[in-house]
Structure 1
């Protein structure tokens, strides 16, 4: 059994904690809001979304073989009783119950269970921009080295990429090959420097 810890972090405040228990059949994610305010966690392809008030936990059972899975935070939301609203970052068509990936900008925790040689793969991606620092770390089977993106990039975001509560990827803003690198032959830009 492997255990992974996933954490959203504000500059010095833990946002949510996620533990992943894996074995050959499934995984269990426990997401806990450790902030003194409400957050909206999102999870696809399993889970959807959930409002988490301070101290609340959300448990998600994920089937073996799940791939292309994402977890992220929706920020700046105020969902009504039917789970409808728009979020400033990570929005999914104005719905709390996400059925596919959220709109940029959003920091992503990505994972795939029981893949090649029955391994679990995980990463943190900022390809869709950034909305909050996070950590994704294994904590069992002697493996404790994980991935951390602890810097609050929002404070360093160039004005051209800035949004309320987030920082867009230049591709999302400019939609040109120079920034999206669709041709595969891209050079550095002022934003990547």
Structure 2
């Protein structure tokens, strides 16, 4: 009888845990407001072609960390979902299973972390390809980052790439720009990105003004060309 009670307790505990996990799962509405097609990508989540005005909704489990949403441009895929993109390509797959290739503007997040807070940001550490907005839409949380400047049009010549603007780490691969040793400072190139998009990460140690938080269970909207 004791083992039956223990089994019942375990089942009850599991159901409660599953219920809490579902309650704290986050919904992300991903919308393309660009006048051109963007192939949205998400890890976790996969990928979807979004023509102007189209939206793709994904649900992400509580506790998910190291997650990204980004836009891909100049893509061509066959019926099996294989092909390539000019920017943000993820191994030639429509349904991304890995992060995209730079340059790509990143919406990054980690759910239900320290003190059950969500941490989220826009990062230009992998460069820039599409203007982006990343804002909370529930729970009374209203503040999120935007990066809407013409970064590509005024990109320094050495950082220019087809369809985007590279971060200097991608181009030079030195510790000064990549911060591989764990410490580094702003550079003229990172200041260019920061000047265009003050809310966004401009280099790997740009934490102070670039990390946003909301209570766990908040929902979000990611907009290309807001």
TM-score of the two chains, using structure 1 as the length reference: 0.80
1:152 Cα offset (Å): 1.8
1:107 aligns with 2:105: yes
More helix by share: 2
Q: Which position in structure 1 is the counterpart of 2:115?
A: 117
Q: Structure 1 residues 25, 179: CA separation in 2 closer, same or farther (over 3 Å shift)?
A: closer
How much is the aligned-residue C-alpha RMSD, in angstroms?
A: 2.0
Q: Secondary structure at the match of 1:153?
A: coil
Q: Structure 1 residues 188, 34: CA separation in 2 closer, same or farther (over 3 Å shift)?
A: closer
1:97 Cα offset (Å): 1.1
What are the within-5 Å matches in structure 2 for residues 156-171 of structure 1?
156-171=154-169
Q: Structure 1 residues 130, 36: CA separation in 2 closer, same or farther (over 3 Å shift)?
A: closer
Q: Which position in structure 2 is the counterpart of 1:176?
A: 174
Q: Structure 1 residues 58, 190: CA separation in 2 closer, same or farther (over 3 Å shift)?
A: closer
**CA contact 1:24–1:114 (8 Å) conserved in 2:** no
Q: Which has the higher contact order (CA 8 A, sep 6+)?
A: 2
Work out which of the two has the higher radius of gyration on C-alpha atoms and give 1 or 2.
2
**Deviation >4 Å, runs of 4+:** none
Please give the alpha-carbon distance, in whole angstroms, between the structure 1 residues aligned to 2:37 and 2:96: 18
1:115 Cα offset (Å): 1.4
Runs of at least 5 residues in structure 1 that lack an aligned partner in the other structure: 1-21
Deviation digits for residues 11-40 of structure 1 (CA, Å, limit 9, x no counterpart): xxxxxxxxxxx9743112222333444220
Deviation digits for residues 53-79 of structure 1 (CA, Å, limit 9, x no counterpart): 333332212111111110000111121
